[in-house]
Amino acid sequence: MRSRRIVLTLTAVAMAGALAACGQAGSSGSGNGGGTASGKAGCAPVQGTDLVALTDDKKLQNSDNVIPAINEKAASPALVAALDKVSAALDSPTLIALNKQVDVERKTSQAAATGFVADKKLTDGLQKGSGAIVVGAANFAESQTLGEIYAQVLKAAGFSTSVKTVGNREAYLPALEKGELQVVPEYAATLTEFLSKGKATPDIDKTVAALTPLGKAKGLAFGKPAAATDQNAFAVTTAFAQKNGVKTLSDFAAKCSGQATILGGPPECKERPFCAPGLQKTYKLSYGSFTTLDSAGPLSKQALKAGKVSIALVLSSDGSLTTTS
């Protein structure tokens, strides 16, 4: 489980007491999912080697777009422009591909970053800046890769850069506020909720509008958010998607509500508003049973591939996902 992620994002009232539980894996096994699938056929699991995340077309999840967080004193026009250029080139399929290189193909974060920067020509036409910039990264691969990308582009813009892996948000955010770090790759909704619970929304513009004054009060500024997100998502096998003709969660709810459908996720998924209850409320999804797995981890992906569950909770930037169904 990635240290930065609150996989099952909570409402404002419930979030504080549940952070630890969201990171704990559940034991395998099936149980009553609390769905309303009586009389409907549903869609049985389909084995497959490839996974695809279904589009959250009704915006159940909050907008956890990648966004550069900057110590306000370091936020020169040249630095912000360089980071904005990175954001403009970073969409979700690209982030999945970067994570695949590191998590699946076992490249280093530095090597994956170098290839991305060269492929997107991110060092061309940059404003020139100067000074020492320490880019902070959290202790998981995606953050470290993003940190390497930021550092390489800023170096091309004339800054003297280094990357420092700091740990979790509780460690790196104070360092960023104090100026011990100058830049950190962040996630818009998660940081907004960290600073003030209940302020994040599924709309990235509204989330950034809420985040900006919260950050300013801490001495922080922000670059533009990327299109790329790392947030809760629900995946099926590509074989399942093709057999049942589903690309979105609305498709899934319309075609697969019913007794044969098995939902997989961590044990708390059955109570959390952005997991099973959210699927039921926002998409009117019903399912026959629930299988207890881990929090968007290897057990969930293996259960999908083995045909044990029809749909399961994953992270939208997981390197094992395909970008087409």
Domain range for 167 is 66-222
Are β-strands 160-167 and 132-138 bridged in parallel, bridged antiparallel, or unpaired? parallel
Model confidence at 40, pLDDT cuts 50, 70, 90, reads confident
pLDDT of residue 14: 37
Query: Within a domain: residue 108?
Result: yes
Are 119 and 264 in the same domain?
no
pLDDT of residue 275: 96
**Mean pLDDT (whole number) for 317-325:** 86
pLDDT of residue 30: 40
Rounding to the nearest 10 degrees, give the CA dihedral for residues 14, 62, 167, 298. Answer: 90
Are 194 and 136 in the same domain?
yes
Tens digit of pLDDT for each residue in 237-263? 999 999 999 999 999 999 999 999 999
Q: Which CATH number does the domain housing residue 196 bear? A: 3.10.105.10
Residue pair 152/113 in contact by the 8 Å Cβ criterion: yes
Query: Within a domain: residue 204?
Result: yes
Query: Within a domain: residue 260?
Result: yes
Are 165 and 291 in the same domain?
no
Query: Within a domain: residue 6?
Result: no
Query: Within a domain: residue 10?
Result: no
Are 171 and 284 in the same domain?
no
pLDDT of residue 72: 98
Are 56 and 72 in the same domain?
no
High-pLDDT (> 70) share of the chain, %? 87
Are 46 and 179 in the same domain?
no
pLDDT of residue 58: 98
pLDDT of residue 323: 83
Are 21 and 84 in the same domain?
no
Are 137 and 274 in the same domain?
no
Are 102 and 200 in the same domain?
yes
- Name the nearest CA neighbour of 210 among 219, 200, 220, 218: 200
- pLDDT of 95 over the 70 cut: yes
Are 156 and 88 in the same domain?
yes
Are 118 and 241 in the same domain?
no
Tens digit of pLDDT for each residue in 129-164? 999 999 999 999 999 999 999 999 999 999 999 999
Q: Which CATH number does the domain housing residue 31 bear? A: 3.40.190.120
Are 266 and 127 in the same domain?
no
* Domain end call among 189, 205, 222: 222
Model confidence at 12, pLDDT cuts 50, 70, 90, reads very low
Phi-psi region of 42 (alpha: psi -120 to 50; beta: other; left: phi over 0): left
1-10, 168-177, 298-307: which has the minimum mean pLDDT? 1-10
pLDDT of residue 81: 98
Q: Measured between alpha carbons, how far apart are the two ends of the chain, in Å?
A: 25
Domain count, the chain: 2
Of residues 31 and 93, more confidence is placed in 93
Query: Within a domain: residue 11?
Result: no
Model confidence at 104, pLDDT cuts 50, 70, 90, reads very high
* Domain end call among 222, 254, 281: 222
* Domain end call among 180, 201, 222: 222
Longest alpha-carbon distance in the chain: 67
pLDDT of residue 324: 66
Query: Within a domain: residue 3?
Result: no
SS3 of 283-317:
HCCCEEEEEECCCCCHHHHHHHHCCCCCEEEEECC
Model confidence at 5, pLDDT cuts 50, 70, 90, reads very low
pLDDT of residue 39: 58
**Mean pLDDT (whole number) for 296-320:** 97
DSSP character string of 32-54: ------TT-B-------S-EEEP
pLDDT of residue 222: 98
